[in-house]
Amino acid sequence: MADEQDKGDNAKGPARRHERFRGEYPIVVEGLVNRFGEQVIHDDLDLKVKRGEILGVVGGSGTGKSVLMRSIIGLQPPAEGDIRVFDKSIVDAEPDAEIGVRDRWGVLFQGGALFSTLTVGENVEVPLKQFYPEISDTLRHEIARYKIMLSGLPEEAVNKYPSELSGGMKKRAGLARALALDPELLFLDEPTAGLDPIGAAAFDNLTRELKETLGLTVFLITHDLDTLHEICDRVAVLADKQVIAVDTVPKLMELDHPWIQEYFNGPRGRAALTAQALDELRRHMDMPVAAHAVKALDNAPEKKA
Amino acid sequence: MARLAEYDIEDGDGGAVLTLSGPYLVSTIGALDGELRKIDGPIARVDLSDVTEIDTVGAWIACNIASEHEAEITGASERAQRLLGALEGTGSEQDMRPERLPVWTRVPDAMGEKVYNARSGIVGVVSFLGALLISAGNLIRHPRRFRTVALVKQLELVGVAALPIIGLMSFLIGVVIAQQGAVQLAAFGAETLTVNLVGRITLRELGVLMTAIMVAGRSGSAFAAEIGTMKLTEEIDAMRTIGIAPMEALVIPRIMAAVLMMPLLGFYASCMAIIGGAVVGELMLGIPFWTFLSRIQDVVPTYDVWVGLLKAPVFGLIVALAGCYNGMQVKGNSEEVGRRTTLSVVAAIFAVIVLDAFFAVFFTKVGWA
C-alpha cells in the first residue's frame, strides 16, 4: 500500500488510489465493543468480509446491525477494538478526517438519504465533485447519467428531485450515488425494506449483477429471507452481542442455535426456501423429475384450499 | 502532476491505433479526458491491452472514443469486456436540472400562485375557525369529553414555563424605555414624567404586545411543529379512526391555554417592565424605587390596564389559531413542518401587530385615551 501512495502526488493532497485492493479481506473487525451508556451493543465482536462476496448480515431488531455498519464506515467510534478497511485502521480517525478509504466505498442508507435540494443527477455528482474536482463538467454529467441508468432508473429520472420519486426509485438513486466513485466496497442497509416483492426481487438482481460486473464486495444488512437465499454468498448472524456464525445459508441452517433455527426454519424461512427450490427446479424443466416435482408443488396448495 | 494513465496514437495496418496504457480509473482520468476528446480521427482501433486497471469511467471513455470514431475495441481484459457490456445503451442526453421556464412566464406564474394561495389560505383559516366554534359548541353540550389534563399541561407549557423568559425580557424593555425616555425628557426638564411614560406604555401597549410576540415564538411555533409532526406520523389519522376528534383533543386545549394565559402573562410582563423602570429611576434619575411604584398608581388611569387586558386574549387566540391551523395543514414531508412552523410565527406576529393598530384607534375613539 505504501508505494501506491507514493505514486500519487502527495503534495497536492491525499493519496489517490490507482490499484484495486488485492488482499483477501477488505473489512476486518476485531474485538469490537460498542456501548451506549450502560447498554452494551457489541461485546468482543469479530468479523471478516471476503473480497468479492456478498455478505448478508442478519439479526433480531436491536442486535446492532446498523451500529456495526456505522462503526465500519466510521460514523460510530467504537469503545474498544479495531476495524480495518482495506488494511487501514479507521478507529483512530475522526469522523470527518481524510483517511483515504472514503472514496473507495459507497453507502446506501435505509431511506436513500438523498440530498433533497438537488436533483438525482446532481446527487450522483456530489461525491465526484468532492473527490475529483479536476473532472470536466461534460464527463461528470456523462458519468452521472450512465450511473443512474446502471442503477436501473429511467433516463428521465436524472433531473427529477428526490421528492418526485417513489420509494423504490429513491433506493435506486441512492445506489447510483453510492456507485458514483466506482467503489470496491458497497454497504447496503436494508435495501429491500419497504419495497413490493417485485421491486425487491429486481433490486436483488441488480445488486448481484452489479457485484459481478463491477467486482464489488457487498456488505448487506437485511431482514429479507429471499434476499439471503437468492444473492448472499455468506451470511453473518448477529446475536448475543457477537457474530455467532458466518457461513452459507444451508450450513447455517444445520447449526443448533435457537435464534438461527427459528429464523431460517420458521414459517417464513421455510417459504423462502421452498420458493428458491421451486425456482431451481423450473430451471431444469426439461428433466421429467423436475417437471413432476414442480407440478406437485404448484398443485399442493390449491388442493388444500 | 505525473500522469499515470497515458495514450499514444500509431499508424497500424488498416488505420490509426489509439493505445491506452496505465490505470484508467475515475481517479486518473480527470487530466486526460479533455485531450482524448480533442483527438481528431480517423482511428480504426482502440487498444486496451496495456491498461492495468479499469473501472466504469475508464470503460465509458473507451466506449465513447470508439463510438465517435467508429473504431473497434481490442485487447480488452475480461473485466473491461464486462464493464463495456454493462455500459451498452446507457448513453443519454438528459440535463441535470429540470427545464426552467423563461423569466416572463416564471414571475407571473409565481405571482399568480401566491395570490391564489392567499385566497385559499383565508378560506382555510375562516373554515378552521368555524370548525373550532362547532367543536367548542359540542364540548359545551358534552362537557365530559373535555380534556382537563391536556388543558392543564398546555397551561403549564404556555404560561408557567414562559415566566422566566418573559419576565427577563419585559424587565429589560422597562429598563430601556425608562433610560431612553429619561434622556429625551431631560431636554424639557421633565425627567419625572418618565414614570408616566413607563407606566402607560407598558400597561397599554408594550407589555401585551411583546408577550404576544414571545408566545408566538415559543408556543405558536411549538403548536405548529407538534401538530404537524403528528400529522406526518399519521397520529392524527389514528385518532380519527378511534373516534377522537383532533379538534377537541389537540386544538381546543391549546387555544384555550393561550387565551387564558395571555392576559396573565401580559399583566405580569407589564409589572416586570415597571419594576425595570423603577430600577432605572432609583439608579439614574434619583427617584426612589418605592416612590416610582406609588407614582404609577397616580399617573396611570385604570382603563389603561383594561386596554391591555382586553387585547391579550384576542392576541392569544390569534397566536394559537395560527399555530394550530398551520400544524393541521402539514402534508407530505418534514420540510413542510419547518415551512409551516415559520409561517405560523410570521402570520401570528403580523396579525397581532395589525390588530394592535386597530385596537389603538378603537380605544382612543371610545374615550380611553
pLDDT value for A253? 83
Q: Which residues of A touch B52 (CB under 8 A)?
A: 19
Among candidates B56, B96, B333 on the partner chain, residue whose Cβ is nearest the Cβ of A182? B56
The answer, for A160 touching chain B at a CB cutoff of 8 Å, is yes
**Residue A134 lies inside a defined structural domain of this protein:** no
Cell of A89: 485502521
**How many Cβ pairs within 8 Å bridge chains A and B?**
110
Q: Mark yes or no for CB contact A142/B64 under 8 Å.
A: yes
Lowest mean pLDDT among A4-18, A237-251, B190-204: A4-18
pLDDT value for A88? 82
Please give the ipTM for the structure prediction: 0.74
Q: Mean per-residue pLDDT for B241-251?
A: 89
Query: A162 with A123: CB under 8 angstroms?
Result: yes
Q: Mean per-residue pLDDT for A163-176?
A: 88
**Residue A157 lies inside a defined structural domain of this protein:** no
Q: How many other β-carbons are positioned within 10 Å of the β-carbon of residue A212?
A: 13
**Residue A288 lies inside a defined structural domain of this protein:** yes
Range of the domain at A288: 266-305
Q: Mark yes or no for CB contact B31/A20 under 8 Å.
A: no
Helix (H) or strand (E) holding A2: helix A2-7
**Residue A76 lies inside a defined structural domain of this protein:** no
- Domain extents in chain B: 6-87, 121-365
Domain count of the fold of chain A: 1
Domain covering B6-87: architecture: 2-Layer Sandwich (3.30)
Q: Is the pLDDT of residue B84 over 50?
A: yes
Nearest chain B Cα distance for residue A5, angstroms: 13
Instruction: Mark out the alpha helices in A57-166 (DSSP H runs).
Output: 65-72, 120-131, 137-150
Instruction: Mark out the alpha helices in A73-155 (DSSP H runs).
Output: 120-131, 137-150
What residue type is A214 in one-letter code? L
Contacts 24+ apart (CB under 8 A), A135-140: A135/B26, A135/B29, A135/B30, A135/B33, A136/B30, A136/B33, A136/B34, A138/B37, A139/B29, A139/B30, A139/B33, A139/B57, A139/B61
Q: Mean per-residue pLDDT for A259-281?
A: 80
**Residue A301 lies inside a defined structural domain of this protein:** yes
Q: Which tens digits make up the pLDDT trace of A66-92?
A: 889 988 888 888 888 888 888 888 877
**Adjacent-strand bridge partners of A14:** none
Nearest chain B Cα distance for residue A72, angstroms: 23
Q: Which residue has the cell 400544524?
A: B327
